Amino acid sequence: MAAEAPALAQEKSGEMDKLFTWATPETPGCACSVSQNGKVVANRAYGLADLERNVPMTSQTVFDIGSTRKQFIAAAVLLLVEEKRVSLSDDIRKYLPELPDYGHKITLDHLLTHTSGLRDWTGMLPLANGNPDALTLIMRQRGLNFVPGEEWSYSNSGYVLLTEMVARTSGMPFADFARKRLFEPLGMKATTYVVDMKAVVKNRALGYEKEKDRWKLDMYLGNDRGGGALLSTAGDLLIWNDALTNARLGAFVSEKLQEPAKLNNGRKLSYARGLFLETYRGTREVAHSGGAAGYHSWLGRFPEQNLSIAVLCNSDAVDATTLAHRVAEQFLSSPGAPEPGAGPPPALTAEALLDANGKAGLFVNERTGELLRLVVDRGRFRIAGGPGLVPVTKDRFRRFGAFVQFMSQDEFELHFLSPDQLELKSMEGQTTRYRRVQPYTLVPADLQALAGRYSSEELGSFFDLSAGKDGLVGHLNDSGGKGLKLKPLERDTYQLAGVTLRFRRDKAGEVVGLDYSNPVVRNIRFTRLSAPTTRR
pTM of the model: 0.94
**What is the rounded CA–CA span in Å between residue 440 and residue 128?**
31
Mean pLDDT of 395-420: 95
Share of the chain above pLDDT 70, in %: 94
Taking a C-beta distance cutoff of 8 angstroms, is the pair 32, 310 a contact?
yes
- Among the residues of 368-451, which ranges form H helices? 444-450
**What is the rounded CA–CA span in Å between residue 50 and residue 29?**
10
Taking a C-beta distance cutoff of 8 angstroms, is the pair 460, 477 a contact?
no
Q: CB-based contacts of 342: which residues, under 8 Å, 6+ apart?
A: 401
According to DSSP, residue 354 is labeled H
Average pLDDT of the chain, as a whole number: 93
Selection from 179, 15, 4, 149 nearest residue 89 by Cα: 149
**What is the rounded CA–CA span in Å between residue 421 and residue 444?**
29
Tell me the pairing of strands 371-377 and 361-365.
antiparallel
Q: What is the pLDDT of residues 288-310, one digit of tens each?
A: 999 999 999 999 999 999 999 99
With H, G, I as helix, E, B as strand and everything else as coil, classify residue 461. strand
pLDDT of residue 1: 36
Check whether 252 has a pLDDT greater than 70: yes
**What is the rounded CA–CA span in Å between residue 266 and residue 274?**
20
Check whether 358 has a pLDDT greater than 80: yes
Q: Identify the burial level of 530 via C-beta atoms within 10 angstroms of its C-beta, where 0-12 means exposed, 13-18 middle and 19 or more buried.
A: exposed
One-letter amino acid for residue 483 of the chain: G
Share of the chain above pLDDT 90, in %: 83
Check whether 6 has a pLDDT greater than 70: no
Check whether 532 has a pLDDT greater than 60: no
pLDDT of residue 2: 39
Ranges 172-181, 215-224, 476-485: which has the least confidence:
215-224
Tell me the pairing of strands 371-377 and 380-383.
antiparallel
Selection from 274, 340, 303 nearest residue 37 by Cα: 303
pLDDT higher at 2 or 462 = 462
**What is the rounded CA–CA span in Å between residue 396 and residue 393?**
5
**What is the rounded CA–CA span in Å between residue 127 and residue 524?**
11
Mean pLDDT of 472-485: 91
Indicate the pLDDT class of residue 535, thresholds 50, 70 and 90. Answer: very low
Mean pLDDT of 221-234: 82
With H, G, I as helix, E, B as strand and everything else as coil, classify residue 211. strand
Q: What is the pLDDT of residues 194-226, one digit of tens each?
A: 988 889 999 999 999 999 889 999 999 876 676
Selection from 262, 291, 256 nearest residue 274 by Cα: 256
Ranges 15-19, 79-83, 249-253, 522-526: which has the least confidence:
15-19
pLDDT of residue 11: 73
Q: CB-based contacts of 357: which residues, under 8 Å, 6+ apart?
A: 376
With H, G, I as helix, E, B as strand and everything else as coil, classify residue 29. coil
**What is the rounded CA–CA span in Å between residue 392 and residue 531?**
54
Q: Identify the burial level of 421 via C-beta atoms within 10 angstroms of its C-beta, where 0-12 means exposed, 13-18 middle and 19 or more buried.
A: middle
**What is the rounded CA–CA span in Å between residue 52 and residue 283?**
41
According to DSSP, residue 67 is labeled G
**What is the rounded CA–CA span in Å between residue 418 and residue 405?**
29
pLDDT of residue 22: 97
Long-range contacts of 78-82 (CB under 8 A, 24+ apart): 78/252, 78/253, 78/256, 78/257, 78/273, 79/181, 79/249, 79/250, 79/253, 80/166, 80/169, 80/170, 81/108, 81/252, 81/256, 82/250, 82/252, 82/253
Taking a C-beta distance cutoff of 8 angstroms, is the pair 25, 56 a contact?
yes
pLDDT of residue 346: 86
Indicate the pLDDT class of residue 233, thresholds 50, 70 and 90. Answer: very high
Taking a C-beta distance cutoff of 8 angstroms, is the pair 77, 86 a contact?
yes
Mean pLDDT of 384-405: 93
Q: Rounded to the nearest 10 degrees, how much is the dihedral formed by the CA atoms of 160, 162, 168, 174?
A: -70
One-letter amino acid for residue 156 of the chain: N
pLDDT of residue 530: 66
Q: Identify the burial level of 207 via C-beta atoms within 10 angstroms of its C-beta, where 0-12 means exposed, 13-18 middle and 19 or more buried.
A: buried
Question: DSSP states of 478-510 as a string?
Answer: T--SS-EEEEEEETTEEEETTEEEEEEE-TTS-
Q: What is the pLDDT of residues 314-343, one digit of tens each?
A: 999 999 999 999 999 999 987 666 666 666
Q: What is the pLDDT of residues 123-147, one digit of tens each?
A: 999 999 988 999 999 999 999 999 9
Q: What are phi and psi of 73, to 5 degrees?
A: -65, -45
Check whether 30 has a pLDDT greater than 80: yes
Q: Identify the burial level of 467 via C-beta atoms within 10 angstroms of its C-beta, where 0-12 means exposed, 13-18 middle and 19 or more buried.
A: middle
Highest-confidence segment of 184-188, 384-388, 494-498: 184-188
Mean pLDDT of 77-102: 98
**What is the rounded CA–CA span in Å between residue 47 and residue 49?**
7
Check whether 254 has a pLDDT greater than 60: yes
With H, G, I as helix, E, B as strand and everything else as coil, classify residue 418. strand
